[in-house]
A and B are shown apart, each in its own frame.
Chain A
Amino acid sequence: MSTAVAESPADIKERNKALIAEVLEAYPDKSAKRRAKHLNTYEAEKAECSVKSNIKSIPGVMTIRGCAYAGSKGVVWGPIKDMVHISHGPVGCGQYSWGSRRNYYKGVTGIDSFGTMQFTSDFQEKDIVFGGDKKLGKIIDEIQELFPLSKGISVQSECPIGLIGDDIEAVSKAKSKQYDGKPIIPVRCEGFRGVSQSLGHHIANDVIRDWVFDKAAEKTAGFQSTPYDVAIIGDYNIGGDAWASRILLEEMGLRVIAQWSGDGTIAELENTPKAKLNILHCYRSMNYITRHMEEKFGIPWVEYNFFGPSKIEASLREIASKFDDKIKEGAERVIAKYKPRMEAVIAKYRPRLEGKKVMLYVGGLRPRHVIGAYEDLGMEVVGTGYEFGHNDDYQRTTHYVKDGTLIYDDVTGYEFEKFVEKVQPDLVGSGVKEKYIFQKMGVPFRQMHSWDYSGPYHGYDGFGIFARDMDIAINAPVWKLTKAPWS
């Protein structure tokens, strides 16, 4: 629980400076110099957070980051439900990412949907020595036989693939030809590429460009467009987020022709170049394909934020501004419809959460996007950082954070613990690896990747759940029990 009394921004900045200096002291000189560039305090009015980002993690420090495979298989491709995604290489990567991301989908698993299954080539030593291309070909044949309703296959490369010189592109091409043009898509997302999940997103985006769009033109010729066609880009439907967003877009009169990629299908990916507007939630993981569609197909795009009523309202208006009055009126109708309910949620939870301080450390868009939702509940985000953000994420963050916010890029386990220990927030929002560390320290915690097995958090339907969950975390009676009466 926060014991800090109200401090002036100047005091906070001074404290943060001392705190950063203190954590850096624990490192060997060379590493301290490198880490110093990733830690700072936000100064109001500045156009950037003044931290370096998207740089290699230093070895041995317990970075929280993952890898390119996680970014491609785990984030971008995995949720496409009617395709089989092969974790190509040894058994582990697919095993550890099996079913844990909660990108919900509707379908019969194992028959027409494959999202919560783990398909692996389970590489053995002989595959490393002699190469895995033959095996890959056979795997594709076996998928074809056992899963006849699968609409496509992706090959998600694990580390060894790029190191042993396999030609997964040639295998994919040949097999696609053999199976009447079925999409068989090789992805070079080996875990050692790049510095984090981020390059995996980029590679996955590029592969959609090169292996889906270019071949889709014929298939989508009969697609009947309407003036109100939009595609949701960068919503992975964690706990149903994309559904809670789609319903609002449809209510305001838009037609959602594709979801990227939560509860998505290959058909939706193929149809997306027919959209009139791409609406982009997770900028980090899907800005690449959105920019490509703008350049190649002339589809404009707009970023939006569906966390908390303030940001939802602004986003609905922003999206509607790209359409005619019918949609603009639709947006106002939706805003008005949900307003009483949002006010009721705030009336119920704000008194319980007012003034509580939050520290975040997440990926993608959340280190900034959820700040508005906390503020709707009267809470204050005092520290935030990105696992795999780039400079453009930190620039966007300046629109959300307050003067004096502690900023930490690619935070290490050591730094994060020290920061929380000293800043004493009332809530930490981060990932499963961090959760139990902070709870043991007596700090309430919510997982902000998986929504701690709750959700959705997006949209109006999501906000009530978000508010309830933050209350559950912060006001749980257990936090009063951590100290024995005699100690």
Chain B
Amino acid sequence: MTETAEKIRDHFDLFHQPEYSEMMDNKREKFENYVGEAEVARVSDWTKTKEYQDKNFAREALVINPAKACQPLGAVFAAVGFEKTLPFVHGSQGCVAYYRSHFTRHFKEPTSCVSSSMTEDAAVFGGLNNMIDGLANAYSLYKPKMIAVSTTCMAEVIGDDLNAFIKNAKEKGSVPTDFDVTYAHTPAFVGSHITGYDNVMKGVVEHFWDGKSGTAPKLERQPNESINFLGGFDGYTVGNLREIKRIFDSFGIDYTIFGDNSDVWDTPADGEFRMYDGGTTLEEAANAIHAKATISMQEFCTEKTLATIADHGQEVVAFNHPVGITGTDRFLQAISRITGKQIPEALTKERGRLVDAIADSAAHIHGKKFAIYGDPDLCYGLAEFILELGGEPTHILATNGNKTWEAKVQALLDSSPFGKGCKVYAGKDLWHLRSLLFTEPVDFMIGNTYGKYLERDTGTPLIRIGFPIFDRHHHHRAPVWGYQGSLNVLVKILDKIFDEMDKATNVAGKTDLSFDIIR
């Protein structure tokens, strides 16, 4: 019997029952034109060779299992960080269904976003009417305080002019003339999701600071003591932004989290659905012009935004997703320098605790080799931490990394004896990494959920840090920034190391000589 009412078997074990195995084997033999197990094994072995790697790395056109998404995804991420702001994506509607699903699978939270639902006629005549009707509908139904318009590749290819369209829609009464509609062109065929984040943030800055597309006077900067903070595209935004606020609060400084989506992706289940929650208020977004400085946690995510902010006379400071002691030290020292406030004793003590934890555990990490992949800044931050722990970040790969990033990470590697022999790969994908994991194996791999395919194929244990994480729950709620966040990262790494040790030593009477109760 495959299944009874008492013991319900689902896909996990149902299909491993003999009647199903037999059925599938029979299907393969008779109907699939199957090449046979020997041939599959031969080719499988060949893909593990240096010869295959060379062919794989010779690829010029095909991209396989990339570790990046497209601009509009980052656009939506940025837009939901503002108070009661509805992201409005101008172009084909299917894209929006994809962004919403993608974020929802990561955060296990709803993601609200609308599309202008352009179809063939809009491809011919342009999407102006979609903008006019779309803004009117979105405004009536979802009562936003602001709409942040971005684009899909369809609207970009046909060349729709967002600024003109929005003006036109306002003239037609879709939304009130003084209603805030920001815009950013976010073509999917340029950059990646981190570029989309950057473009939307830049669009918001320009909207509020530079006179709302000619409909209001430009703001005049009157410098104050506040600082602005940009998190960048970050899968841990919920935990991280709360940790950053705690750090800023402990300094006792005025600050603005520019694009705070930590609440909208973490709403309570109490009987009410909050389509909007928290977020940077529009007033704060405008007043951010007066800040003394803007700190970005992710340089490669915020290049244009920082340049725009710098043009308005602010100091801008960018980090590369700092994780660990040195990275966090730099971050705190920068805050201290900019604000003139001393680093609080409480944070110094947290630092000491992290050093203590590292001292307790580093022996298990020392000399271990790691492959790291993900967004450029995340890779940098994690690599720096691994070096600090005495590990070797052997392969560091960012599909959306560029030459500048590659050079920067190389300089980091060159700065440490543990970086010797480690290599940086900009623009490569996870199929490239697959080859590397066969020819130059490592002990562990750090990256997003898609790495589980590499773990299956190569046996390299995956430590899940990155975006998206679809197959583990709630990781995004805990920070990976600050000393506390770094401690979380340390524990994640150690847990995997110890789990693997146990797995390798748990066969009774055979491998369990080292099955120690104390590690």
Q: Which residues of A are in contact with B by a Cβ distance under 8 Å?
A: 26-28, 30-31, 56-70, 82, 86, 89-93, 95-100, 104, 106, 108-112, 116-125, 127-128, 135-136, 138-139, 142-143, 145-146, 148-149, 151, 158-160, 162-164, 191-195, 197, 239-240, 243-244, 246-247, 250, 256-259, 263, 265-268, 271, 341, 344-345, 347-348, 412-414, 417, 431-442, 454-456, 460-461, 464-465, 468, 478, 482-484, 487
Contacts and interface: CB of A to CB of B under 8 A. Distances in A.
B110 A440 contact: yes
B70 interface: yes
A266 B122 CA distance: 36
Contacts of B33: 82, 151, 265-267
A139 B113 CA distance: 34
B154 A341 contact: no
Contacts of B27: 246, 256, 259, 263
A148 B51 CA distance: 14
B62 A139 contact: yes
B47 A111 contact: yes
Contact of B123 (A92, A95, A100, A163): A163
A267 B133 CA distance: 47
Contacts of A95: 66, 68-70, 102
26 contacts: A60-B137, A61-B138, A65-B93, A67-B92, A68-B94, A86-B62, A91-B70, A91-B188, A96-B99, A98-B65, A99-B450, A108-B44, A112-B34, A112-B40, A121-B63, A139-B61, A146-B62, A197-B94, A239-B10, A263-B27, A432-B104, A432-B105, A437-B273, A441-B272, A454-B10, A461-B2
A89 B141 contact: no
Interface stretch (B15-23, B211-219, B384-392): B15-23
B469 to A, nearest CB: 14
B514 interface: no
A104 B16 CA distance: 13
A108 B104 contact: no
Given A159-B91, A341-B1, A66 B97 contact: yes
Contact of B88 (A60, A240, A432, A483): A60
Interface in B249-302: 267-274
B62 A121 contact: yes
A345 B60 CA distance: 55
B190 A125 contact: yes
A96 B69 CA distance: 8
Interface in B425-481: 431, 434, 450, 453, 457, 470
A127 B157 CA distance: 11
Nearest to A478: B269
B312 interface: no
A64 B97 contact: yes
Contact of A193 (B52, B120, B130, B271): B120
Nearest to A56: B119
Nearest 4 CB-CB pairings of A with B: A67-B94, A92-B70, A59-B134, A60-B134
B47 to A, nearest CB: 7
A414 B144 CA distance: 13
B24 A414 contact: no
A26 B140 contact: yes
B108 interface: yes
Interface string B44-66: 10010000100110011111111
Interface in B63-114: 63-66, 68-70, 72-73, 88, 91-95, 97-102, 104-105, 108-114
Given A60-B135, A82-B33, A121-B61, 17 more contacts: A58-B137, A63-B117, A65-B97, A66-B98, A70-B94, A104-B11, A121-B63, A138-B60, A142-B61, A146-B52, A192-B123, A239-B10, A246-B27, A256-B31, A268-B32, A454-B11, A460-B3
Given A59-B133, A70-B94, A436 B271 contact: no
Contact of A62 (B3, B20, B91, B142): B142
B182 interface: no
A89 B141 CA distance: 33
Contact of A464 (B3, B100, B140, B157): B3
Contact of B152 (A68, A159, A246): A159
Given A98-B450, A192-B92, A267-B32, A250 B14 contact: no
A138 B273 contact: no
B492 interface: no
Contact of A119 (B62, B105, B134): B62
B267 A440 contact: yes
A422 to B, nearest CB: 14
Nearest to B270: A482
A135 B61 contact: yes
B94 A62 contact: no
Contacts of B113: 62
Given A59-B117, A121-B63, A247-B19, A464 B5 contact: yes
Interface of B: 1-6, 8-11, 14-15, 19-20, 23-24, 27-28, 31-35, 39-40, 43-44, 47, 52, 55-56, 59-66, 68-70, 72-73, 88, 91-95, 97-102, 104-105, 108-120, 122-123, 130-131, 133-142, 152-154, 157-158, 187-190, 192, 267-274, 431, 434, 450, 453, 457, 470
A257 B31 contact: yes
A433 B101 contact: yes
Contacts of B140: 26-28, 31
A257 B47 CA distance: 32
A124 B189 contact: yes
B70 A111 contact: no
Contact of A436 (B60, B109, B122): B109
A58 B59 contact: no
Contacts of B98: 66, 70, 92-93, 96-97
Contact of A69 (B1, B94, B189): B94
B70 A90 contact: yes
Contacts of B52: 146
Nearest to A138: B61
Contacts of A257: 31
Contact of B9 (A28, A100, A461): A461
B44 to A, nearest CB: 5
A26 B11 contact: no
B278 to A, nearest CB: 15
Contacts of B11: 104, 239-240, 454-456
Contacts of A271: 31
Contacts of A434: 110
Contact of A243 (B6, B20, B73, B88): B20
Contacts of A258: 31
A121 B70 CA distance: 13
Nearest to A241: B11
Contacts of A440: 110, 267-274
B40 A111 contact: yes
A230 B244 CA distance: 61
B334 to A, nearest CB: 34
Nearest to B61: A138
A345 B5 contact: yes
Contacts of A348: 5-6
A97 B101 CA distance: 9
A90 B31 contact: no
Contacts of B68: 91, 95
Given A106-B28, A240-B14, A433-B104, A90 B189 contact: yes
